[in-house]
Amino acid sequence: MSDRVDEALKHRYIYLPRGTDKDTLGLGKQLALVLARRHGARLTVVTVQKNGATHHPELAKQTIVTERSGSVDDGGVVLAWCPRHKTMEKLHHLKKSVVVLVEWIPGEMEAWAKLNQAYNVVTGEVMDVALSDQATQILESIVREGYKGWTDSISEPMVRSWLDDLAALGEYDRDLVLAYARQTKYEASIERLEKIIDKFTASRGVAPDTSRRWEL
């Protein structure tokens, strides 16, 4: 593990995808503790509910922030412990913190990792989405259109037009569009965007993927 720790120290975003062959939960927990110590920084655990972290003695000793309580001070090491998308809203304002994300549902946070060029501890690779400048501009347009939560009557046709443009470029990816918007928008608004995207996907003869959605 020491070589992966040395490499992780070079990155601001670290991703531990949930797998079936390796205990990524235990690895992620230990890695976050080691990184905090090596960086000489505090460790903050961000999780859905407090008992999700306090169940682990090592994490119970740390500052714990949940979806409903607390906030994260910027500048330390943050362990995003089995988060869902709403949990990640607590990280919107961070500019300097090192983020270690330990995934719960396989693949749920992969698009987040790609957008942030996160270091994948399991594969040893730096993830990347390789978006063209044109695709990035389209995604920015979709986000700007969401200034009222994509609720205006014009929002749906505008978004669907931009999704057509992404598809024409060969760069349409449902999870990636949502992950891009989630960088600055909250889930209350994302739910509306998701419905628009699912209508677009269905119109192209592809069933929306709901396998990775979960609720408390």
Residue 176 is encoded by which pair of tokens? 């990636």
pLDDT band at 209 (very low <50, low <70, confident <90, very high): low
Burial tier of 99 (Cβ tally within 10 Å: 0-12, 13-18, 19+): buried
Q: How far is CA 153 from CA 126, 141, 181, 186, 199, in A?
A: 40, 16, 19, 20, 15
> What does the DSSP assignment read for 83-109?
--TTGGGGGTT-SS-EEEEE-SSTTTT
Per-residue pLDDT of 101-150, as tens digits, reads 999 999 999 999 999 999 999 999 999 999 999 999 999 999 999 999 99
| Boundaries of every domain in the chain | 2-126, 133-203
What's the whole-model pTM score?
A: 0.91
